[in-house]
Amino acid sequence: MRFLINYFCFILYHLGYENDTNLILRNMSITFNQLKKLITKKEIDTVLVCVSDMQGRLNGKRVTGKAFIDYVYKETHMCDYLYTVDMDMFTVPGYKSSSWETGYGDMTVIPDLKTIKIANWLNKTAIVICDCLDHSGKKPLIHSTRQILKDVLAKADKMGFQSMVGSELEFFLFNQTYEEIHNNNYTKLKESSWYIEDYMIFQTTKEEDVMQELRNSLLDSGIYVECSKGEAAPGQEEINVVFSDALNMADNHILIKNATKEIAYKHNKAVTFMAKYNKEVCGSSCHIHNSLFDKKTKKNIFYNPKDKYGMSDIFKSYLAGQIKLLPDISIFLAPNINSYKRFQDGSFAPTKSVWGIDNRTAGFRLAGHGSSIRIECRVPGADVNPYLSFAALVGAGLYGIKNKLKLDKPYSGNIYEKKVNEVPKTLNEAIQLAKKSKFLKEIFPQDVLDHYIHAAEWEQKDYDGSVNDWQLRRYFERG
């Protein structure tokens, strides 16, 4: 597969289409007809028919190849409770869309045949991402995460823009199985390294059984991986892929997370994408690089060679919108209790909602130059749902453009020490900001807002009723 991709790109290059090479690699899926041939030859016998749940995880069915090419490719059905359950798959009460009162009926699930990929890390398996419609199959399910992003991108399209995104994922790798870790009550964790391995080749060589398979499996499956590297804590990894259009990037993002877990599992190891799994080490981020391209010319409209920083007026307003609305959209960028544990001074995670020129202490970092200029939002952690976070950031940027917001001057130096706009400190704070927001209705329909505010409130309520290890250690004997 990789040889065919490289050969195709070689031909494009010599035909004068070198600017399209990355686009070909980034969006390499197989066609339905190609899948049919592979199934007929028995090279593929299983198709994962998947949707993203509210947490950004793959949910779905393992469909036989025959059934998929015979009829499932047109539609299938899944219980609509998938968009009302929490992390533990508990049926959360209080949603308008689906409940015990509505009977938890079915939603119609339509495979997006443009997303078919071979899951090279699994045996004889392909995967397809689906869109969700109501029971009748006539109306999109507006609170399904992929639909939320598609609706925001439709607004960008009407304005003549194509949203381009690249998400960087960090995670921790452990030399234990998930079962071992669970049986030890998530204590006595054995990270794959006992010292910081940021950029270190020797230490990451020890982890190549997992990381090499991950890079090459994703690449062979049509997800253009650039690199992996050691990160800023023992056992911490980062994987980077080439940017793409926002919807394709979100689809790839959830596949990358799932593949990482499955490949680690094959090697009797485990990974976590928790935003902050250990208070003694830095958290795991999902830095989101984003820019707008002109829909017609396919050029980055953020670049202005005459500007001091190389930024177009559209770019400045877009970034001003993201900075202004960051408090309002925080439940979409940091959706869990644990997400907010990451925001610590001196940790490379941001605590201030300001921008800087290539400054990693800012919430927003101006990155790249020339036609690759972009903004990197450093707020989300690796626990984020890509569809929701991309939608929130793009929507906030479009708000800035529509309202011609003015961008403040960049901050420099150690922004941790500056008394400027703070990133919300807790999920509860983010919930209250979202409930009071005058701007979120500019991005999301009210029903969508109500749905995800309710999800955040349930997460907070569930946590508030828990008794954790810290409380036991502090109060059991001494209280």
pLDDT for 23 beyond 50? no
Q: What is the pLDDT of residues 180-210, one digit of tens each?
A: 999 999 999 999 999 888 888 998 999 999 9
- In eight-state DSSP terms, residue 276 is -
pLDDT for 347 equals: 84
Residues 270 and 181: beta-carbon distance below 8 Å: yes
- In eight-state DSSP terms, residue 421 is P
The SS3 of residue 153 is helix
Mean pLDDT in residue range 123-135: 97
d(CA 233, CA 344): 15
Residues 247 and 52: beta-carbon distance below 8 Å: no
pLDDT for 15 equals: 32
Residues 292 and 302: beta-carbon distance below 8 Å: yes
Q: What is the pLDDT of residues 341-372, one digit of tens each?
A: 999 988 888 989 999 998 898 999 999 999 99
d(CA 78, CA 75): 10
d(CA 297, CA 184): 56
Domain ranges of the chain: 31-141, 159-443
Reading the block at residue 448, the tokens are: 């969508």
Q: What is the pLDDT of residues 241-297, one digit of tens each?
A: 999 999 999 999 999 999 999 999 999 999 999 999 999 999 999 999 999 999 999
Overall pTM surpassing 0.85 (yes/no):
yes
**203-206 long-range contacts, CB within 8 A, separation 24+:** 203/230, 204/228, 204/229, 204/230, 204/237
Q: Which of 348, 351, 353, 345 is nearest to 329 (CA)?
A: 353
Q: What is the pLDDT of residues 397-408, one digit of tens each?
A: 999 999 999 999
- Give me the half-sphere count of Cα atoms (radius 13 Å) on the Cβ side of residue 43: 9
Location of structure tokens 């006992």: 194
Q: What is the mean pLDDT of the chain?
A: 92
pLDDT for 212 beyond 60? yes
Report the topology of domain 159-443: Creatine Kinase; Chain A, domain 2 (3.30.590)
pLDDT for 130 equals: 98
Q: Which of 287, 102, 267, 282 is nearest to 176 (CA)?
A: 267
- What CATH number belongs to 31-141? 3.10.20.70
d(CA 147, CA 133): 9
pLDDT for 5 equals: 40
d(CA 335, CA 385): 8
CA 56 to chain CA centroid, Å, is 7
Reading the block at residue 142, the tokens are: 């507006």
Location of structure tokens 């009071």: 436
Location of structure tokens 């991950």: 214
d(CA 384, CA 322): 17
Strand partners for 294: 161
